[in-house]
Homo-oligomer: A and B are copies of this chain.
Amino acid sequence: MKEELLKVLLDGKNEEINEIIEDVHPADILDIIHENENEIYNILNRLPDWMIAHIIEEEDDEEKYEILKVFSENKQRKIIEEMSSDELTDLVGTLDEEESMHIFEKMNAEDRKDVSKLLTYEKDTAGGIMATEFISIRENKTVKDTLKYLQKVAPEAESAYYLYVTDKNEILKGVLSLRDLVSSDFETKISDITNTNVISVKYDIDQEEVANKFEKYGFLTMPVIDEKNKLLGIVTADDIIEIIKEESTEDIHRLGGVDREEKIDGSLKNSINSRLPWLFVNLLTAILAAAVVGMFEGTISQVVTLATFMPIVTGMGGNAGTQSLTIVVRGIALGELTGENAKRIFIKELFVGIFTGIALGAVIALLGYFWERNVVFGIVIGIAMILNMAFATMSGFLIPVILKKLKIDPALASAIFVTTVTDVLGFFFFLGLATIFIQYLI
């Protein structure tokens, strides 16, 4: 299938190409380009401008310009003419000043105005992800009038699945699903089938919150408005799917200590650049924890088994802290941790730490007792474990919450702080207690 398509695109007659592209999805042609990067120009050159525009729209933002710039200035202008304003904005957003000037010169006046306006919105907000090609209709028309109007304007619109009803100043008055439109008699008045309780988002809302609203209400599109309720654009569910995937990947990467944009099939250099800074920061905190151990070398030289058991205390603290952190970071991302339930959840986390600490501490205390044949050794490691687990779950809650308050992504830095706390405190509790009770241990 792919080879066939490639062959037609490269060597087919013009009629063959025209026939095939009627039915092919631009995302599939994009796949072919990725596998044959040297042939981009030859593959795309004979396609119609609108198809090239769609293919560019399917590409990742950073790579869009790589495709566009293989064409002549004149052809670029025609392709740009076919692109939607939000995709043009994404394209321009990745370019330096000189390159974006080149793109702006090739836009028509309307696109230039739309894109300039869109560029003023923050990238990760409702305004930054919306499209301005929407259809607004007036409430005093009939179903038949509106269907006829749609026959004229729909092919240009980003989405014609929901129709937004506005007054003459573009103030949002209500919403009408295309489904309600087509299932109504031709003579019905639009105002009779308009839902006036339209759910919209303001342009400066974070995209993650927009995604949460889509999920809650099960919408396929949502209107974006300004302070005065003026309709600015729409967000569609397919954009939201992409955003949710990206945001999840970012969170997973950051929790795992890699750059949010590292690609699994990227280069060795990219992977090293993505990971080395994080490893160096971790090295510093590991040295800090080691310094705590260093303070107690005298104690360890008297009871070497302390060295055998100490990684258990810190390791289990690290695991417990990571568990709390995971639940809290994900809860923040999903909007499930609120001002109202925060205190209750903090107390729950503390008790999770205490109870799991008691369970694991009992096991390890017994093991320590049998290993060293010394009751005090068992008690020391058991108590150190309980203390460290309690501090682990507390910091697993507090650190992401504090980072969030400081407007730092909690997924980014929480893990390193939590494991630093559990390492430093784990060594300190265990070796400190051992030092206090050293006379019973030797």
Contact = CB atoms under 8 A, between A and B. Distances in A.
Given A151-B182, A264-B336, A323 B293 contact: no
A94 interface: no
Nearest to A295: B308
Contact of A305 (B197, B283, B297, B320): B297
Interface residues of A, number: 121
Interface string A280-321: 101100110111011001001100111111111011100110
Contacts of A349: 271
Interface in A146-172: 147, 150-155, 157, 159-161
B265 A336 contact: yes
**How many identical subunits does the complex contain?**
2
Interface string A179-192: 10111110000000
Contacts of A241: 211, 214-215, 237, 240-241, 244
A130 interface: no
A257 B319 contact: yes
A427 B307 CA distance: 11
Contact of A278 (B195, B319, B352, B363): B319
Interface in A211-248: 211, 214-220, 236-238, 240-242, 244-245, 248
A376 to B, nearest CB: 19
B341 A185 contact: no
Contacts of A27: 216-218
Given A294-B308, A323-B257, A179 B196 contact: no
A66 B392 CA distance: 36
Contacts of A309: 290
Contacts of A181: 182
Contacts of A245: 211, 215, 244, 248, 334
A359 interface: yes
Contact of A297 (B151, B307, B336): B307
A41 to B, nearest CB: 24
A423 interface: yes
Interface stretch (A77-85, A101-109, A120-128, A324-332): A324-332
6 contacts: A220-B237, A253-B330, A287-B312, A307-B310, A311-B311, A311-B423
